[in-house]
Amino acid sequence: MQITDVKTTVLSMPHLSGIQDATIRHLEQGRTQCFVHIVTDEGLEGLGTGGGARAAREIIEGSLKPILIGQDPLNIEQLWDDMFWRIRGVGRKGLAFCALSAVDIALWDLKAKYYQTPLYKLLGPYTDTVPVYGSGGWTHFSIDELIAEQASYVERGMKSVKMKVGKDFGQSESEDIARLSAVRKALGDDVEILVDANNGYYAKQAIRMAQAFEEYNIGWFEEPVLADDIEGLAAIARATAIPIATGEHEYTKYGFKDLIARGGADIVQPDVGRVGGITEWMKVAHLAHAFNLPVAPHAYQLIHLHLSCATPNLRIVEYLGMVEEADRITYTEFSEPVNGVWSPNPDKPGLGLELNPEAVKQYAV
């Protein structure tokens, strides 16, 4: 089997609701997503997705496609290495690695389809059911909107939810506490609340805020400081009993090696659309396991569902309402969480995902 073509589809849905967190300065309206199609001479096609949208498309079609054509798509480790070295001068972190990640996801989807099995079974499942938490809590929400959204996840049977703190680049500390207090009061003591600062605080400030958050019995404190401030992350982790969760802005096993070995993470959060795709995500999960640390993947929930089923040290899977909103338009169908747990469709090969032709017709760029 050989790769005969590598194509991309970019969908832009500007009408979807906006989001804002601690370090997004202005409300970001709509969604734009890049999809990769790897076509073979046997009629099989793999579907992948990643970050970077239009810019990622340029890297995929201009830099990665030429080295993939004519290759055996089952040789994923070899192809990953070829792509890694092709983008060495512009990659390692950031946009180029988002492009590589999207292609790698498509290769794994294709491989599972070739063997006519769901991806999680190809990877070697530890389980077929994983816990999920409802994620959102954007900083532009009023307190009433915040409570309504967080409560809607609980009504769907989720026992954990996540909200944003660090509002206005960490300049609204009293408001952060008031919003957390309101959510705790509304949801009661039996729901786990996770908080995410999206890099919004400084280290000493985050330590002080963690002390205030402890009163509300939160499950983890996510990205309290800039992702590159590993010393700051480690200092916060030492100063509080609240687990520090981070990793969504880290790239490759090498980046996670430094993050973990230097004590910057209690809960490891690789993002399959950034870290280097499924190939690298699984290595990071195993690395975390070697340090006896749990994994809680960031975003890309329909892909992480499969990977999480093959991860013994899984903590929980993020389920973003704003992503679900886009997924309902983008795909023909997908499995959904029920009573706080989630399972892949055991009868669909690969990721079990297919782009909705009507969505492509209406939203393709």
362's tokens: 């209406």
Q: How far apart are CA 286 and CA 265, in angstroms?
A: 15
With 0-12 CB in 10 A as exposed, 13-18 as middle and 19+ as buried, what is 361? exposed
Which of 104, 54, 137, 29 lies closest to 272, judged by CA? Answer: 104
| Catalytic site residue from 298, 304, 306, 348 | 298
| Catalytic site residue from 111, 113, 162, 164 | 164
Q: How far apart are CA 256 and CA 211, in angstroms?
A: 27
Render 240-277 in DSSP notation, one character per residue.
-SSPEEE-TT--HHHHHHHHHHTT--SEE---TTTTTH
Question: Taking the CB of residue 330, how many other CB atoms lie within 10 A of it?
Answer: 24
290's tokens: 């070697």
Which of 214, 215, 258 lies closest to 234, judged by CA? Answer: 258
Q: How far apart are CA 181 and CA 331, in angstroms?
A: 37
Taken in order 331, 80, 264, 199, is the CA torsion positive or negative? negative
Amino acid sitting at position 231:
E
Tell me if residue 286 is catalytic: no
With 0-12 CB in 10 A as exposed, 13-18 as middle and 19+ as buried, what is 221? buried
Is residue 39 within 8 Å of residue 241, measured between CB atoms? no
Rounded to whole angstroms, the maximal C-alpha distance in the chain is 60
Tell me if residue 298 is catalytic: yes
What does the DSSP 8-state code read for residue 213? H
Question: Hey, which residues are catalytic here?
Answer: 164, 298
